[in-house]
Amino acid sequence: MVKVVLTAPASEMSEYNGNPAIAFVSGFSKPFLVPRFFLTLNLYRDNRDGYRVRYAPLGLRRIEASLIESGIFREDDVVVVCPDDLEDVVNEDTKVIGIGVKDPLGLGYVSLTYSTLLGLGEPINKYEFMRIIKIVKKLKKKFEFNVVVGGPGVWQLYMYSDLDALGIDVVIDGEGEVITPDVFSKIINREPVERIVKGDVVPVDHIPCIKGASVYGAVEISRGCGRGCMFCTPTMQMRRDIPLEKIVRDIEVNIENGQNKVLLVTEDIFLYGSRIPWEPNGDAIAKLIENVTKFKDRGLKHIQITHMNLAAALYRKDIVKLMSDRLYEFAWYSFRGNYINTVEVGIESGSPRIIARYMRGKALPYTPEEWPDIVLESLTLLEENGWIPLGTIIVGMPGEDIDDAYRTLSLVENIRRHGLRTFLVPLLFVPLGGCVLKDQPIRSFNELNDVQVAVFAECWKHNTKIWGVEHFKNYSYIQKKILNILAKIYLATTARKYRWRKKIATEIYKELVSQI
């Protein structure tokens, strides 16, 4: 008898054919002409083992484990399912449907930026979340259960939507491993529960090991950051390192359940095991890497790290080399015939003034004034050691003036002049719930000056030039012609509606033509 059904939008349940980079597509527009089966065929490959999913988002796996470990629920009381199977699984025994969300209304950095930039419809993330809501509201007419939503994206729901209209009974805002079992138990026993429940910081000894495999083999090695970047939520949280034995156990669970890859989830690999602020602990990182790579003998093929700080990489070149030497054989990607390690890094701005005002901790142990040079030297160092990072840039930070924008544009141009292959992702400023700047207004493209618009154009010209040849080499002559025709139609219709969209699209198209 299943009492608790856990799920998430299909865009978060997918492994995108094993490519985490393609997951960014879920933040792009879903054109109304594109049917959903196209998404399921090309993006959401089957992830089922019966009605249970083989792989689930790490956050859902943590909640599943916390419910079982609490002793309140048995293992067969809880199931994690694909949203497409809700109507087959939910019945009169179901008391709670728990939905994990990262970006339910498409208000995250990538979704808001690129659904607006493309102008072809709402982001896929929002489309898939609203699809779950539609299914759940239909089921509520047949069965009595409560809907509980949790995850890093819940701020979008209580700040920008009507919980009653969505059929949401309870929102858990914050870390959920400790509070969720109690909330679910009260719901089942018909005891009163607050509409919005705040989850406190969870001590590492209360973070349970997962019971089933996670999407991409995601394994948490640290939580929070503490660098204090005002635009970001995790950096404002107290940093905690997950004990090595728990990390190893989570990897074992993934391997035992069919995963052959590991995604090491952290806000900055260089903070793992550090006791002195901003001082990386080389021994702890070396021991971590050693314990992860030993799973090669049990079928592990790929290892990837989620985030890395550029200043720390430059400061501890020895750790960069150690990780490069040990992880090369586990590289997830290849580029132009060579294996590469990839990682996300935060460039954010080329303006020392913006760095000093909003993210001083990002530059430590160096100064904000040194930041542009740190970025160039660190990206160069990483490429010399076989890494090609994905670098984010935030455009339109509160108070960013034209001089700040020029400095960011200059940094982008210098990245190109240095021949660096960093994949640059410019993003509009979004006041994420829980960050220091949460009360600032969302920035729109209409508010950007010409230099800020140029940052977007130059970043994507750079990406198209560096990565276009590799991407389009397998396109047939007919496919390239069709792409060219579609691009021209877009330029003549959607792109021309706004000056900024026309400017960005035109510049990218010029580079695209040279590639196809």
- pLDDT, tens digit, 9 for 90 and up, residues 23-36: 888 888 888 778 88
Query: Which CATH number does 213-442 carry?
Result: 3.80.30.20
pLDDT of res. 31 = 81
pLDDT of res. 236 = 63
Q: Is the pLDDT of residue 47 over 70?
A: yes
Q: What does the pLDDT average to over 359-364?
A: 95
Q: What does the pLDDT average to over 426-454?
A: 94
Between the CA of residue 365 and those of 278, 310, 315, 327, what are the distances in Å? 7, 11, 8, 26
Which amino acid, residue 93?
D
Q: CA-CA distance, 99 to 382, in Å (whole number)?
A: 38
pTM: 0.94
Nearest to 464 by CA among 395, 516, 409: 516
Task: Output 515 or 203, whichever has higher pLDDT.
Answer: 203
HEC string of 83-107? HHHHHHHCCCCCCEEEEECCCCCCC
pLDDT of res. 175 = 95
Q: Is the pLDDT of residue 178 over 80?
A: yes
pLDDT of res. 49 = 76
Q: What does the pLDDT average to over 69-96?
A: 95
- Cβ–Cβ < 8 Å for 15, 215: yes
Q: Is the pLDDT of residue 17 over 90?
A: no
- pLDDT, tens digit, 9 for 90 and up, residues 282-302: 999 999 999 999 999 999 999
Q: Is the pLDDT of residue 3 over 90?
A: yes
pLDDT of res. 235 = 63
Q: Is the pLDDT of residue 69 over 80?
A: yes
Q: What does the pLDDT average to over 169-177?
A: 97
Q: Which of 39-48, 174-183, 329-338 has the highest mean pLDDT?
A: 174-183
Percent pLDDT > 70 in the chain is 99
Q: What does the pLDDT average to over 414-434?
A: 95
Please identify, in words, the CATH class of the domain defined by 4-201.
alpha beta
Q: CA-CA distance, 421 to 462, in Å (whole number)?
A: 8
Q: What does the pLDDT average to over 392-402?
A: 97
- pLDDT, tens digit, 9 for 90 and up, residues 202-214: 999 999 999 999 9
Nearest to 225 by CA among 239, 211, 214, 207: 239
pLDDT of res. 411 = 98
Pairing of strands 170-174, 96-100: unpaired
- pLDDT, tens digit, 9 for 90 and up, residues 370-392: 999 999 999 999 999 999 999 99
